[in-house]
Amino acid sequence: MCPTSTVSLMHRSPCSTSAPLRSSQKSAAQTSANSDSLSDKFSAALAKNKEWAAKCSQEHPELLPTLAVGQHPEILWIGCSDSRCPETTILGLLPGDVFTHRNIANVIHPADLSSGAVIEFAVRHLRVKHVVICGHTKCGGVAAALGNKGLGILDPWLIPLRQLREQHLADLQSLSQDEAVVKLAELNVKEGLKALTQKSVVLEAMQERGLQVHGLIYDVGSGVLRELDAAEPEDAIKARLTSFKTDA
């Protein structure tokens, strides 16, 4: 959630003799500069796409033609929409390796049709071998849930995070802000794994073909992934199977 931005500097020509800009002129110039910066970034991205496609075809000549026929990813990645957390890049993998769903703060809402459809398709039809829920440090959505500012449409989306905050309030209040963000991000991932394994399609795949689920935290400052201990008691697993697994 909290993407960083870059601002390009505009230089006047060395031969310029114009008078200093008034306040209103500066504001208009800054607006124009920001617009040009965004336009340049997008144009550069389109140009780089052609370079990337050529390089990819050279280094992996069979990759793109193979992907044109179909996809066979082994990993479903459920992560945050944050621009600093591009899953295929940080995993060092290639296009076609990771099926992806991303949203604000990687929240799993049981009734969310978007994430539910992705999970159903990835597990039942693509038959992925691993499902990953990944949170990250410096998450804006998590930080927002630790605050009390109204955020409009984001407020109902962040309810699961606020519920976790309520349940662990004393522990979270004993930590620094940065530590609390990491702690709540970890709790959110574990809660997401619980919601994930309450889905019958996931339980079925775990039982019948050994589907594995994983919880990770990505450190945006170092680029390193850390796996969380998501082990559960046997009786908790049995209770979930009894309560949530349904017949087709």
**Residue ranges for the binding site?**
80, 82, 136, 139
Query: What does DSSP say about strands 130-136 and 75-80: parallel, antiparallel, or unpaired?
Result: parallel
Q: Is 40 a catalytic residue?
A: no
Q: Is 139 a catalytic residue?
A: yes
Alpha-helical segments (H) within 14-145? 23-59, 63-69, 87-90, 113-120, 140-145
Catalytic member of 22, 82, 168, 229: 82
Catalytic member of 85, 134, 139, 165: 139
Locate 63 and state its tokens: 């990759």
Catalytic member of 85, 136, 155, 178: 136
Catalytic member of 84, 85, 134, 165: 84
234-244 vs 200-209: helix crossing angle, rounded to 10: 120
Partnered with residue 227 across adjacent β-strands are: 216
Catalytic member of 80, 85, 134, 165: 80
Residues of each annotated binding site for Zn(2+): 80, 82, 136, 139
C-alpha closest to that of 103 among 154, 167, 165: 154
Q: Is 56 a catalytic residue?
A: no
d(CA 93, CA 60): 12
Distances from the Cα of 135 to the Cα of 1, 18, 124, 186, 238, angstroms: 11, 51, 24, 7, 27
The catalytic residue positions are: 80, 82, 84, 136, 139
